[in-house]
Amino acid sequence: MVNRRKGFSAKQSRRKTRQMNDSMVGTHNVRGSHARRQANASSMSFSDGRTSARASRSQLETMIPPATTSGEGRAAYRQRIQQRRFAEQIQRRARIRRIVVGIVAVALVLGIAIGAGYLAFRGTVGSSMALRDSDAGQALVAVKSTEPYYAVLTAELGAVAAPLEKAGPDVILLLRVDNEQKRLAIVNVPPGLQISIDNSTKRLGDIASEGDAALISALATFAKVDITHFAKIDQAGLLAMIDALGGIEADIDQPIDDPQAGDVYIPAGKATLEGEAALTYLRATNLTLGTQDQLNHQTYFAALLLQKLFGSSGGRLAANLDSIGANLQTDMALGQIEDVASWAGTMDLGDIVRVVLPGYETSVAGVVDTGDASYVTTSAQMAGIIEALENGEAPTGSDTSKVAAADPGSFTVEVQNGTDIAGAAGVTANELTSKGFRVEKSGNAEQQVFTETLVVYKDDTVGPAQANAVVNALNLGRVVDAAAYYTFDTDVLIVIGSDYKPVS
């Protein structure tokens, strides 16, 4: 028996090698005419000679055949897909950037357009409020932006009928504005105030007919202050402002029923004043204290109106001013008004100082007569108010719409009959005595020409309370300050006028 040696013969080894080479494939580039057939070791191109030699000797590890329809290897396929996805991602990001840039550009254009429109609107508002045909600038005195300043605001209320129409403004307010300390004060100066000017005595309202500068100069001289700003509003503008603000909510202290002021009856209590009702409230003088109550009502209403106007949020202030149009004129720029509104709009009503210049209304010899009564006071009264405001205090006479009544037995009274109603003084004296008042004497006045009953006091400290006690007891009379125009020995003087109604 022939013993065969284990293992491969040389011939078998060569044949096996060829078979193995033919069975090995890879992802190498095939050269020449072999490109269309399956690649083997001898026809493959490798990255280096060592790898090629090992493949020829069947020493390369098994290679993973392609599993893609394109014939690529998995790594190449993944790389190509990742490159395509990356490209798509770049394109997507580019599209997003273009969209974002477009949106930003549109928003920027809209913002610029809105901003330009708002600036144009503000310019229109400022232009419509500018003083026209006014010489006010000749009398105004500028101050530093951080300093308090005084401003004059006038208003025309109109009249129910033409015969009742008055020349000049119906309301004159002197405002003190302190932007640093955030303080606002309103002083109501009656248009009938007597002003000595050019060697004659004139009413302040009549001086206004000579021009805005004449009014500002006269008031500045009387108050001994520099006036920095001026504004005026007519009846149509006031109605437009009240309407734009949705009316003014007010606490009516007494019924308003004055045919010469308007045909609107306003009961006491809370009410929203709009249109003609607001004008009636401001014009009415048929009140417990006559003109004094009217001035108190006007000052109170002005504080409410400014509080609500300045409290307008955002651009509403400019819109509300725009609704008034040319019916409001002022030298103030819109920005200056907004500076005040930024703090005044948050003030409580009680924080706004309201002052009525103390005095009384009468006809006085030597005053140029235009058919209206004159308001008599002294420069000392105004000086006291200004001094208190400068010191940050509430002046005497502030918010005088309600003054507490004094004890009837704590002061003395004299009663004079200033009308042709016989026995009026005696009857009134007896009535007061029965109510605890100390009536020291009664009799006739020097003239029986008084059209209304006056209750005159001397002492600025307790006098208003004493006079109010008399008015409350009689349900009659108007409280006035004696100043230098009445002389009497008692604490209070009563001069009965034709409004007195005898007890039947």
Residues 281, 306 within the same domain:
yes
Residues 376, 260 within the same domain:
yes
- For residue 16 the two structure tokens come to 């096996």
Give a yes or no: residue 3 inside a domain.
Answer: no
Look at residue 292 in the predicted model and tell me its pLDDT.
84
Residues 124, 141 within the same domain:
no
Look at residue 366 in the predicted model and tell me its pLDDT.
40
Alpha helices in 142-196 (DSSP H): none
Residues 44, 123 within the same domain:
no
Q: How far apart are the first and last CA of the chain?
A: 175
Look at residue 394 in the predicted model and tell me its pLDDT.
77
pLDDT tens, the chain, 504 aa long = 455 555 556 777 677 666 665 555 444 444 444 444 444 555 555 556 665 665 555 554 444 455 555 566 666 666 666 666 767 777 777 888 888 888 887 777 777 765 555 455 455 555 667 888 899 999 999 988 889 999 999 999 988 765 556 678 999 999 999 999 999 999 999 998 888 777 677 889 889 989 999 999 999 999 999 999 999 999 999 999 999 899 999 999 999 998 889 999 999 999 999 989 999 999 998 888 788 889 999 999 999 999 998 887 666 887 778 777 778 899 988 888 888 988 998 889 989 999 998 876 665 434 434 446 778 777 778 888 999 999 988 786 544 434 445 788 889 999 999 999 999 999 999 999 998 899 999 999 988 888 889 999 988 778 888 888 888 788 888 888 886 578 899 999 999 998 888 765
* Residue 256, domain CATH: 3.40.630.190
* Rounded Cα distance, 257 and 263, in Å: 8
Residues 221, 191 within the same domain:
yes
Look at residue 126 in the predicted model and tell me its pLDDT.
53
- For residue 288 the two structure tokens come to 């417990």
Residues 369, 441 within the same domain:
no
| Closest alpha carbon to 438 in 478, 490, 489 | 490
Give a yes or no: residue 399 inside a domain.
Answer: no
- Is residue 257 exposed (0-12), middle (13-18) or buried (19+ Cβ within 10 Å)? middle
Sheet holding 454-457, edge to edge: 438-444, 412-417, 492-496, 454-457, 478-481
**Structural element, H or E, at residue 75:** helix 74-129
Sheet holding 328-330, edge to edge: 328-330, 227-233, 149-155, 171-178, 183-188, 353-356
Specify which residues 493 forms β-bridges with.
414, 456
The parent domain of residue 457 ranges over 408-496
Please say whether the beta carbons of 467 and 476 come within 8 A: no
Residues 109, 238 within the same domain:
no
Compute φ and ψ for 369, nearest 5 degrees: -95, 120
Residues 280, 297 within the same domain:
yes
* Residue 478, domain CATH: 3.30.70.2390
Structural domain ending residue among the three candidates 78, 96, 129: 129
Structural domain ending residue among the three candidates 107, 129, 151: 129
- For residue 206 the two structure tokens come to 């009549």
Look at residue 140 in the predicted model and tell me its pLDDT.
94
Residues 185, 245 within the same domain:
yes
- For residue 316 the two structure tokens come to 């509403």
* Rounded Cα distance, 431 and 265, in Å: 31
Structural domain ending residue among the three candidates 79, 113, 129: 129
Look at residue 3 in the predicted model and tell me its pLDDT.
54
Number of domains in the chain: 4
Please say whether the beta carbons of 440 and 494 come within 8 A: no
The pTM score is 0.59
Whole-angstrom CA distances from 210 to 135, 137, 287, 411 are 10, 15, 31, 46
Look at residue 171 in the predicted model and tell me its pLDDT.
95
Residues 232, 330 within the same domain:
yes
- Is residue 267 exposed (0-12), middle (13-18) or buried (19+ Cβ within 10 Å)? exposed
* Rounded Cα distance, 499 and 495, in Å: 11
Buried b / exposed e across 99-132, counting CB within 10 Å, b at 16+? eeeeeeeeeeeeeeeeeeeeeeebeebbebbebe
Long-range contacts of 10-17 (CB under 8 A, 24+ apart): 17/57, 17/58
Residues 295, 426 within the same domain:
no
Give a yes or no: residue 400 inside a domain.
Answer: no
Look at residue 272 in the predicted model and tell me its pLDDT.
96
- For residue 345 the two structure tokens come to 């709009």
